[in-house]
Amino acid sequence: MDNNSCESSRLKCLFLSWPASPSARLLTSVLPHHQLLLPPLSPLTIPCRTKIQRDYRRPGQPIENKYPLNFNFSKGIEGIKKHFTLMKDEFFGRWVGPEGKPLIEHILEQNLVIWKFRGPESLEQWTVSSDQEIGGQSEAHLKMGRNDNTCFLHGKLSSTIPRDGETRYSGYCNMRSKTPKASFDRKKHYDWSSFNTLHLRVRGDGRPWMINIATETYFSHQKDDIYNYFLYTRGGPYWQEVKIPFSKFFLSHRGRIQDSQHPIWLDKVNTIGFTLGDKADGHFQLEVDFVAVSKDYAHTEEFAYEMYERNPKRERIE
C-alpha cells in the first residue's frame, strides 16, 4: 500500500511538474519548486566545475540558499582577510620558487608529509560521510586522538539496507580530504609527480580499508573516477607504516572497477580518502598519524596491471 501511494505520487510529480528542457531540469534540481513559475528559455550559467569547488553537500540535503543575502559584516571582513592573505602568499610565493618552495627543495625532495594531525584545525580539512546519506544506519565520527597527535575515525558499520525500493547494498563509511583551495575559493591541485609512493602511518582494527585518490578530470562523465587500492590494517597496539606505490592504484568509476585501466597521473591530485565497506557489521576505528608521499628510487614499475585484448576475435572453424 505504502509502495503504491509512493509510486502514484512519484508519477504525479513526473507528469505535472517535470520540465521539458535539460537546462530547466537542472534548474529545478537546484532551486526549490515554488520559485520556478516559468521554465527558462535559455541555459543559465553554471559555475565551472574545474575552477570552483563547493564544500561537500550530502545527497538529499537542500542547496544552501544564498539569496536573500544575510549581511554579516564580521563574516565579510573575515572572508576578505582570508582571501587576500592567500592571494598575497601566492604572489610572494612565486618569488621563492615553483609552488612557493625553493627549487632546490623540488630537486632534492624525496618525502613530503601532506596531512599530519597535530591539532583540531587539521580535522577541518577532512569530511566524514557514511551510508546515512542514502538512508542507512552506519555512523562515523572523526576526532583528535590521544595527545592531539593523531586523528581518530571511529563509528559503527551497519549493513541494514535502507527501505527505499532501489538500494541493494549498504554499510560504508568514508573519510575524505577536502580539495585544496587557493584564494577566492579557486581549486588548487596537489602535484605529486616527483613522488611514486604513498606512505601512511596508521593503526587500524584489523579491517580491510580502501584508499581512494581522486584526480582532476575534464569531462563531466569522469568526475566520479577514483583510483583505489587496499589498506589491510593489522590491528593491535602497534603502529603500521604502509607504503603503497602509486603504480598499484587501479581505476574505478562509482565503485565499479573499469576494464580499461591506466596509471594514475599525479600532477593534479584533488583528494584522498579512506573507505570501509567490508560487509561486517559492528564497531570500527582507524587512527592516522600522517599521510605522506615519497619517492622510492628502487620502485621502477610504471603500472601493475597489464591490459589484455578484450573480446578477442574467435577463429572461424570451417
Partner 1 sequence: MSPYVLALLLFSLGLGTTMTFASSHWLLAWIGLEINTLAIIPLMAQNHHPRAVEATTKYFLIQATAAAVLLFAGTTNAWLTGQWEIQQDAHPLPVAIITLALALKLGLAPLHSWVPEVFQGLDLTTGLVLATWQKLAPLALLLQIHPPNSYLLILLGLTSTLIGGWGGLNQTQLRKILAYSSTAQLGWMVLVLQFSPSLTTLAVSVYVTTTAATFLTLKLAKATSINMLAISWAKAPALVALTPLVLLSLAGLPPMTGFMPKWLILQELSKQGLAPTATLAALTALLSLYYYLRITYTMTLTMFPNNLSGTPPWRLRTHKTTLPLACLAITTISLLPLTPAAVALVAL
Residues in CB range of 192: below 8 A, 6 or more apart: 112, 246, 266, 267, 269, 293
222: its cell numbers: 569522469
Stretch that binds partner 1, among 25-33, 102-110, 159-167, 175-183 (CB under 8 A): 102-110
Question: Which of 99, 148, 224, 241 touches partner 1 (CB under 8 A)?
Answer: 99
Binding mask 163-202 for partner 1 (x = CB under 8 A): ----------------------------x-xx--------
144: its cell numbers: 583528535
By beta-carbon proximity to partner 1, the closer residue of 226 and 276 is 226
By beta-carbon proximity to partner 1, the closer residue of 7 and 267 is 267
| CA distances, 278 to each of 123, 169, 204 (Å) | 25, 11, 14
By beta-carbon proximity to partner 1, the closer residue of 32 and 98 is 98
Calpha distance 316→67 (Å, rounded): 67
Calpha distance 276→306 (Å, rounded): 27
Question: Which of 225, 240, 255, 281 touches partner 1 (CB under 8 A)?
Answer: 225
By beta-carbon proximity to partner 1, the closer residue of 21 and 193 is 193
Among positive and negative, which fits the CA dihedral 48, 226, 192, 182?
A: positive
Question: Which of 86, 109, 185, 278 touches partner 1 (CB under 8 A)?
Answer: 109
Question: Which of 15, 67, 73, 219 touches partner 1 (CB under 8 A)?
Answer: 219
By beta-carbon proximity to partner 1, the closer residue of 6 and 96 is 96
SS3 state at 17: helix
Question: Which of 217, 240, 247, 252 touches partner 1 (CB under 8 A)?
Answer: 217
CB of 6 to partner 1, least distance (A): 39
Residues in CB range of 159: below 8 A, 6 or more apart: 136, 169, 170, 171, 279, 281
Residue 228 β-bridge partners = 212, 250
Calpha distance 161→131 (Å, rounded): 10
Which H helix or E strand runs over 240? strand 240-245
CB of 297 to partner 1, least distance (A): 4
Binding mask 55-94 for partner 1 (x = CB under 8 A): ---------------------------------------x
SS3 state at 283: strand
By beta-carbon proximity to partner 1, the closer residue of 8 and 258 is 258
**Which residues, numbered 250-309, are part of the site for partner 1 (CB under 8 A)?**
260, 262-263, 265, 267, 297-298
Give the largest CA-CA distance in the chain: 83
The binding site for partner 1 (CB under 8 A) comprises 94, 97-99, 103, 106-109, 191, 193-194, 217-219, 222, 225, 260, 262-263, 265, 267, 297-298
